[in-house]
Structure 1
Amino acid sequence: MVAVLPPARSRKLAKVPFVELADGRLQGVVSSGSDVERVYVSSVAAGTHAYQCSTNNNRPCGGLRATACKHLHALADEALLQYGVDRVARYLRVDVGDGVATGAELLARLDGQPEPASAAVVFNRFLRHLAYLEVPASTTPLPELHWFPATSAGR
């Protein structure tokens, strides 16, 4: 059985509805600040700290230059809330020492460069997670969720 870790702190899902530490990256989906129909897929690679940000249809983020864009900052902020500083730093393989409290402070410790990457895999994972919100409530097991530990009110 896999242990499910609770979030380090609760977070609001409107700005960053999806964040995960997976596939060797901190990655997620960030809502656009200017267009409600647009989302950005942002990621930071563990070890190399290469970062990318593009729309869900692979158009590059206009704010991504030699430094991280605002979408990467929002992603890092939410990752720290979801997983905690120690876990994110360990996953990305970065020494944070003392005093890292925000995503901006974490990103400042990284030494990566922008590197193009496909947004499709992360965006598809996000859409798959959204699909579970539409599944009607039932006590019948869902085969694709067999790995998810069951909880009961008595525990």
Structure 2
Amino acid sequence: MPVWELSSTARVVPPARPRKLAKVPFVELADGRLQGVVSSGSDAGRVYVSSLATGTYAFACSTNNNRPCGGARGGFCNHIRALVGEAVLQYGAERVARYLKADTGDTSDTVPDAHMLVALMTATRPEQGDTSAAAPVFSRFLRHLAYLELEPTTAPLPEMQWFPPTRTVA
């Protein structure tokens, strides 16, 4: 068994490139969507929960208290464009394209970037999707913020102790 599996911490895949967290503090590829939290450009106290569905590119964008985004009417708003851009920085364009099932064609000559991915997805004329995922995404974001407030330690976290032990360490 590798040593890291005996640790109370999980391995973290480093980002493809460093990114600034002020505009998009949380981005993830999960639940069949690219989803995350995007800061408002006009109000420092407001954030938006944005998402893009895999394959269909159905999009959703609303505030953390479930008010619809005014810019996401009939097409991708700036929050969704920012989310795609930060996802490309975090995971790499190839991984994001593969997860979203975006057909980038023959990429032997060019590496896809965020602008190319947005252009490919908007060309399919995606429709506005369901905003029901906003609450769980925002909740996970808040949970991540809570972990940032903890002091660094290698001791087990009590809330994670429900995992059954895989092997007794002597």
Range class of TM-score, shorter chain = 0.7 to 0.9
Verify: 1:101 aligned to 2:113, yes or no: yes
State yes or no: 1:55 paired with 2:63. yes
Structure 1 match to 2:72? 64
Aligned to 2:131: 117
Q: Using a 3 Å threshold, how does the CA distance of structure 1 residues 9 and 145 change in structure 2: closer, same or farther?
A: farther
Is the counterpart of residue 38 in structure 1 residue 38 in structure 2? Answer: no
Q: CA deviation at 1:145?
A: 5.2
Deviation of 1:116 after TM superposition, in Å, equals 2.6
RMSD, aligned α-carbons: 1.8
Match of 1:140 in 2: 155
Q: For the residues of structure 2 that align with 1:93 and 1:18, how far apart are their CA atoms?
A: 21
With over 3 angstroms needed to count, the CA separation of the structure-2 counterparts of 1:5 and 1:136, relative to structure 1, is: closer
AA aligned opposite 1:27: Q
Q: Report the residue type matching 2:130 in the other structure.
A: P
TM-superposed CA distance for 1:107, in Å, is 1.7
AA aligned opposite 1:62: G
In 2, the alpha carbon distance for the partners of 1:129 and 1:36 equals 19
Unaligned runs of 5+ in 2: 164-170
Matched, 1:28 2:36: yes
The structure-2 alpha-carbon separation of the partners of 1:74 and 1:5, relative to structure 1 and needing over 3 Å to count, comes to same
Distance 2:75 2:160 in 1: 39
Q: CA deviation at 1:60?
A: 0.4
Kindly tell me the number of residue pairs found equivalent between the two proteins.
146
Aligned-pair distance for 1:3?
5.8
Q: Could you tell which deviates more after superposition, 90-99 or 52-61? A: 90-99
Flag structure 1 segments of 5+ consecutive residues without an equivalent.
148-155
Identity %: 63
Distance apart, 1:144 and its partner CA: 4.2
Larger radius of gyration: 2
Q: What CA deviation, in whole Å up to 9, does each residue of 1:64-115 have, x standing for no partner?
A: 121100000000000000000110011011112334322x321221222111
Which letter does structure 2 place at the counterpart of 1:108?
Answer: A
